[in-house]
Amino acid sequence: GRHPGRSPRGLDFRPVAANRADAVTVPDGYEQQVVIRWGDPVLRGAPAFDPARQRAAAQAAQFGYNCDYLALLDLPSERSRRLLVANHEYTDEELMFAGYDPENPTREQVEIAWAAHGMSVVVLDEERRSGALRPVAGHRLNRRITATTPFEFTGPAAGSSLLRTSADPTGTRVLGTLNNCGGGKTPWGTVLSGEENFNQYFANAEAVTDRQTAARLARYGLAGGASERKWERFDERFDVSREPNEVNRYGWVIEIDPLDPESGPRKLTALGRLKHEAAEPRLTRDGRVVIYMGDDERFDYFYKYVSDGRVHSGNGLAARRHNRRLLDEGTLYVARFTGNSPAGQIDGTGALPEDGEFDGTGEWIPLASGTRSFVPGMTAEEVYVFTRLAADRVGATKMDRPEDVEPHPSTGTVYIALTNNSNRGAAGQPGPDEVNPRNANRHGQVVEVMESRNDPAATRFSWRLLLVCGDPADPGTYFAGFPKDQVSPISCPDNLAFDPHGNLWIATDGNALGSNDGLFGVALDGQNRGQVKQFLTVPIGAETCGPIVEEDRVLVAVQHPGELDGATPENPGSVWPDGPGHLARPSVVNVTREHGGRIGA
């Protein structure tokens, strides 16, 4: 067996123990600080949070609900300040409003929810000595994007008849973004964000009689009558029986330029329409941009986009204009994974095949490029708007819910978190394969994808599993061969990040081992490869999101604290972070060393 050395640089901390505390817990010698909470002022004139008197106009100027993806940008013009970009994925009305009646939401509550979705851009003051971060309310760069902010469609499906509605007969302009989950930073300074479970906002799919439309709606998870939030009562566009194309205007990757508050946000049709989890870029040696993307659904797919054009360096107007088109002209691909062990050795338990690894090769299958479709029976516009149906036709590999993806900053290996798949191997459902090796997969796995010749534009790759997650005492788990009595249990990997030393960090959502979710560091090289160490835990009912790991800080978004069945403000599942008598508030947390110093050093 392997003899682990001491922890590599960046991972030298004593792991925190799994727990059920209503708190963020961090290792000994570290301290934490809440940076910004749901309802804290962002725009000039925003009032302080007042849970008893919430108003939509106030919420539209305050930090939104359920922070997920986080990006932290440098502000070249202002030293000791940083620019935070945060997604606000969705709302938990029953936790936000005392006495909420889910059958009869008020217009004010619905409009608060619209304003609590979307994104926030907030300048932060950085205190040099302690590393503390504090929002600069009212800064000119601060911005809120909500469910009603105008967006422009760009790329090959902009203006398509499939995107036209009675409010927008041009098919080029849509109000708002919804269910923004993960994201990514581009090399040209913009931020990408994925619209994920948009289906839940749209009502009355059951009333659609046209067979083709009904099949398309079903493939994207639309079913039934009234929506959970009843938004269709307040805006007809959320009723697909009245406005059938409005739903086609969600499920895209969006791009915003946080350094330019005047720039309009865009929805990028060239990257396809799915339940976009995240979008992470990598550059080819000749400067083309490749975007890796997962579709977070049981048995859905892993994609990439390769631009035709090359990134122009610099921040001048000409370069920015050029770079704005990189995500409009290119080729969209979907992945097919093949195992190298006999199928009979993949028995669904997680037991390793005889060659000792879950591994193999794969290929990228082109779906469309500009106006050209590679999918028989579908136009390019149909491929972009109904990308799942295109991928179904070309034999892509049905994965265990692709969540975040992150290319290693120096090796180029692409890491994918496959969070779980309770239906793998169920009656009438696909069984195990080498990349998705467990039936009734409750804990998920992490895949490494190595592009051929390490060229991100390659059409072939090899792959292997880094982790098969769960309780290390469970024989169906795998930690890259690291001794399993020396790792932290980990379940349901979701968001991924790299630290400056090249260690992978994994945030979890839905820990099926019975403890709260958390953040874990994992060594990837040498004797310590596969050593998972838990760095923090989040409060009851929360998932860990948006990890950013810098030399001297870790930033996480604590999403949906207190989200438990039946929890309400009167009967809270969590009172984090403000304590008893206060609503639970999704918030961003900054973790630093006591007395300063490097993370994990």
**Residue numbers at the binding site for ligand FEO (CB under 6 A):** 89, 181, 196, 277, 296, 403, 494
Our finding on whether 197 is near Ca ion (CB under 5 A) is no
The residue (of 61 and 67) whose beta carbon lies closer to Ca ion is 67
CB of 83 to Ca ion, least distance (A): 22
- Binding partner selected for residue 295 from Ca ion, ligand FEO, none, CB under the kind-specific 5 to 8 Å limit: none
Residue 544 host element (H or E)? strand 543-549
Return the residues of window 80-119 that contact Ca ion according to CB under 5 A: none
Contact between 599 and 550 under an 8 Å Cβ cutoff? The reply is yes
Sole binder of Ca ion in the list 241, 340, 422, 429 (CB under 5 A)? 340
CB of 492 to Ca ion, least distance (A): 8
Our finding on whether 195 is near Ca ion (CB under 5 A) is no
- Binding partner selected for residue 89 from ligand FEO, Ca ion, none, CB under the kind-specific 5 to 8 Å limit: ligand FEO
Sole binder of Ca ion in the list 93, 111, 126, 359 (CB under 5 A)? 359
The residue (of 141 and 278) whose beta carbon lies closer to ligand FEO is 278
Residue 109 host element (H or E)? helix 107-116
Sole binder of Ca ion in the list 243, 509, 517, 563 (CB under 5 A)? 509
The residue (of 181 and 457) whose beta carbon lies closer to Ca ion is 181
CB of 303 to ligand FEO, least distance (A): 15
Question: Cα dist. 403→210, 280, 301, 446 in Å?
Answer: 32, 12, 10, 10
Residue type, 36: I
Alpha-carbon distance 514 to 299, whole Å?
25
The residue (of 181 and 446) whose beta carbon lies closer to ligand FEO is 181
Q: DSSP 3-state assignment of 583?
A: coil
CB of 293 to ligand FEO, least distance (A): 12
CB of 333 to ligand FEO, least distance (A): 21
CB of 253 to ligand FEO, least distance (A): 14
Tokens standing for 511?
């820990």
Contact between 568 and 101 under an 8 Å Cβ cutoff? The reply is no
Our finding on whether 355 is near Ca ion (CB under 5 A) is yes
The residue (of 97 and 479) whose beta carbon lies closer to Ca ion is 479
Question: Cα dist. 443→86, 365, 478, 581 in Å?
Answer: 27, 28, 11, 35
The residue (of 150 and 342) whose beta carbon lies closer to Ca ion is 342
Site string for Ca ion, 468-507 (x = CB under 5 A): --------------------------x-------------
What is the per-residue DSSP string for 150-214? EEEEESTTTT-GGG--SS-TTS-EEE----EEEEEE-TTS-EEEEE--GGGG-B-GGG---HHHH
List all residues 6 or more positions away from 128 whose beta carbon is below 8 Å from its beta carbon. Answer: 80
CB of 574 to Ca ion, least distance (A): 18
Alpha-carbon distance 440 to 336, whole Å?
21
Give the count of beta carbons closer than 10 Å to the beta carbon of residue 468: 22
List all residues 6 or more positions away from 529 whose beta carbon is below 8 Å from its beta carbon. Answer: 480, 481, 482, 523
Give the count of beta carbons closer than 10 Å to the beta carbon of residue 462: 16
CB of 403 to ligand FEO, least distance (A): 5
User: How many residues line the site for Ca ion (CB under 5 A)?
Assistant: 9
If 0-12 CB within 10 Å is exposed, 13-18 middle and 19+ buried, where does residue 136 land?
middle
Alpha-carbon distance 363 to 381, whole Å?
23
The residue (of 96 and 181) whose beta carbon lies closer to ligand FEO is 181
Alpha-carbon distance 543 to 556, whole Å?
10
CA proximity to 154, closest of 293, 263, 310: 263
- Binding partner selected for residue 355 from Ca ion, ligand FEO, none, CB under the kind-specific 5 to 8 Å limit: Ca ion
Contact between 204 and 239 under an 8 Å Cβ cutoff? The reply is yes
- Binding partner selected for residue 196 from ligand FEO, Ca ion, none, CB under the kind-specific 5 to 8 Å limit: ligand FEO
The residue (of 66 and 373) whose beta carbon lies closer to ligand FEO is 66
CB of 182 to ligand FEO, least distance (A): 7
Contact between 293 and 278 under an 8 Å Cβ cutoff? The reply is yes
CB of 277 to ligand FEO, least distance (A): 5
The residue (of 181 and 487) whose beta carbon lies closer to ligand FEO is 181
CB of 343 to Ca ion, least distance (A): 11
The residue (of 92 and 243) whose beta carbon lies closer to ligand FEO is 92
- Binding partner selected for residue 476 from Ca ion, ligand FEO, none, CB under the kind-specific 5 to 8 Å limit: none
SS (H, E, C) 256-281: ECCCCCCCCCEEEHHHCCCCECCCEE
CB of 493 to ligand FEO, least distance (A): 11
- Binding partner selected for residue 359 from Ca ion, ligand FEO, none, CB under the kind-specific 5 to 8 Å limit: Ca ion
CB of 532 to ligand FEO, least distance (A): 20
Tokens standing for 542?
């929360």
CA proximity to 302, closest of 198, 416, 157, 199: 416
The residue (of 89 and 93) whose beta carbon lies closer to Ca ion is 89
The residue (of 89 and 280) whose beta carbon lies closer to ligand FEO is 89
Alpha-carbon distance 363 to 450, whole Å?
11
- Binding partner selected for residue 340 from ligand FEO, Ca ion, none, CB under the kind-specific 5 to 8 Å limit: Ca ion
The residue (of 66 and 528) whose beta carbon lies closer to Ca ion is 66
- Residues lying near Ca ion in the complex (CB under 5 A): 181, 340-341, 353, 355, 357, 359, 494, 509
